[in-house]
Structure 1
Amino acid sequence: MIEIKNLKKIYNGVTVVNIPGVAIATGESVGLVGNNGAGKTTLFRMMLDLIRPETGQVLMKGEPVAGNEDWKNFTASYLDEGFLIDYLTPEEYFYFIGGLHQQSRAHVDDFMAGLTDFFNGEILKKGKYIRDLSKGNQCKVGVASCLLQSPQLLMLDEPFANIDPSTQFRLKSIVKDLNKNKGVTTLISSHDLNHITDVCDRILLMEKGVIIKDIATSSSTLNELQEYFGVGQTAATHIKVDEEENH
């Protein structure tokens, strides 16, 4: 579904993303992990054609995202509150998103009723503008608007960061259901190693703009990632040595 080729982004003379190639198949659940500044959000923004790379391209279903509109019909994403229209109430925003997809207000209402547990009584019928919601509740609105679109590809940047533990588990259940039962391709970044290894079958580890490890999730993946982030350069050296030995 997704193919990245020779993708490079440079800011002020510093290369912040440098990915020679990576492919994500239809129906895969992929996690993106890395420290702050690893290039995760920049990569997401290039994949969504929000910023342009210096070199390379991102293909979705064989077509470049740059200068193309087709990928927008099957992709839903939430990176941050900048994706929302903050002077609307959540209901108004959902009706707006639904309208873009030829959905009636009745359909939107029925769909949102199915997210009652996820909203936890904090979103609907509160008379608040989105700008007045907490970051966690803004995230709920963003994620719900993605789900409303019935996407084939779902991209979420740090969705677990500001939501409470109960909502984290509900979100994990939703994402797993979309991937396992509905065949939705999911791409999620997170600093929470427990959640990301639980939700995703494949983990891409980024450091300084480079994907240094592509891991099929197994019972040892969480320990491997914890060792890497806990030990730092020592673990990074081990990973590099392992890669050289494998080649």
Structure 2
Amino acid sequence: MIEIKNLKKIYNGVTVVNVPHLQINKGESIGLVGNNGAGKTTLFRMILDLIRAESGEVLSNGVNVAGAEAWKSYTSSYLDEGFLIDYLTPEEYLYFIGGLHQQNKAQVDEKLAGLAEFFNGEIINKGKYIRDLSKGNQCKVGVGACLLQQPELLMLDEPFANIDPSTQFRLKNILKDQNKNHGVTTIVSSHDLNHVTDVCERILLMEKGVVIKDIATSSSTLSELEEYFGVGQSIASYSVDKEENH
């Protein structure tokens, strides 16, 4: 579904993305992990043709996304609140997005009813503009707008970062359902290793713009990632310090 070839992005003489080749097949659930500055968001924006590369290309269903339009009809994404129209209410924004996809108000209302648990009574008919919502509730609006579109490809950048634990749980179930029961290709970036290994069947680890590991998720994946990021060492150091102080 997505094929990346010799993709490179450079800022101020520093290469921030350098991906010689990457293939993401239709129906896969992909988790993208890495430290701050690893290039995850830049890669997302290049896949969505929001940033142009110095060299290389991103193909969506065999077509270069740069300058093309067809891929936009089956791709939905939420990277940050900049994707929203903050002077609208959530309802106005969601009806607007539905209208772009030839859905009338009744059809949008039907889909929103299916998201009632995810919204948790905090989004619809609250008399607030999107700009007045918390970061977490803005995320709910963005994810809801993505799901309205019934996409073939769903891309979310750090969707777990600002939402509460109950909403995290509900979002994980939504992502699993979209992938398993609707065949949606999902690409999710997250700093939360537990969430991403729970939701995704394949993990891409980025470091300094390069995909350094491509892992099929298994029972040992979380431990492997924790070891890479030093979680185990940090816990061990804490335990030693604690024992020495008693």
The two structures have a TM-score, normalised by structure 1, of 0.93
> Is it true that 1:227 corresponds to 2:227 in the alignment?
yes
Partner SS state of residue 5, structure 2: strand
Structure 1 residue identity aligned to 2:160: F
Structure 1 residue identity aligned to 2:40: K
2:120 corresponds to which residue? 120
Cα deviation digits, residues 88-143 of structure 1 (max 9, x gap): 00000000000001101011111111111101111000000000000000000000
Partner SS state of residue 191, structure 1: coil
Cα deviation digits, residues 60-94 of structure 1 (max 9, x gap): 00000001001001000000000000000000000
1:56 corresponds to which residue? 56
Cα distance in structure 2, aligned partners of 1:36 and 1:144: 26
Cα distance in structure 1, aligned partners of 2:2 and 2:78: 18
Equivalent positions of 1:1-247 (< 5 A) are 1-230=1-230
Cα distance in structure 2, aligned partners of 1:163 and 1:118: 11
Structure 2 residue identity aligned to 1:64: N
CA RMSD after TM alignment: 0.9
Cα distance in structure 1, aligned partners of 2:116 and 2:98: 18
Partner SS state of residue 169, structure 1: helix
Partner SS state of residue 145, structure 1: helix
Partner SS state of residue 106, structure 1: helix
Structure 1 residue identity aligned to 2:33: V
Cα distance in structure 2, aligned partners of 1:156 and 1:66: 20
Deviation of 1:5 after TM superposition, in Å, equals 0.3
Cα distance in structure 2, aligned partners of 1:42 and 1:66: 15
Structure 2 residue identity aligned to 1:106: A
Partner SS state of residue 230, structure 2: helix
Aligned length: 232
Cα distance in structure 2, aligned partners of 1:226 and 1:55: 33
Cα distance in structure 1, aligned partners of 2:152 and 2:64: 17
Cα distance in structure 2, aligned partners of 1:107 and 1:180: 23
The two structures have a TM-score, normalised by structure 2, of 0.93
Structure 2 residue identity aligned to 1:67: G
Structure 1 residue identity aligned to 2:192: D
Cα distance in structure 2, aligned partners of 1:177 and 1:129: 30
Partner SS state of residue 142, structure 2: helix
Partner SS state of residue 21, structure 2: strand
Cα distance in structure 2, aligned partners of 1:137 and 1:159: 11
Partner SS state of residue 38, structure 1: coil
Structure 1 residue identity aligned to 2:95: Y
Cα deviation digits, residues 143-193 of structure 1 (max 9, x gap): 000000000000000000000000000000000001011110000000000
Partner SS state of residue 92, structure 1: helix
Deviation of 1:213 after TM superposition, in Å, equals 0.2
Deviation of 1:231 after TM superposition, in Å, equals 6.4
Q: Specify every segment of 5 or more residues in structure 2 that has no aligned partner in the other structure, as ranges.
A: 233-246
Share of identical aligned residues, percent? 80
1:238 corresponds to which residue? none
Cα distance in structure 1, aligned partners of 2:22 and 2:84: 30
Cα distance in structure 2, aligned partners of 1:79 and 1:66: 19
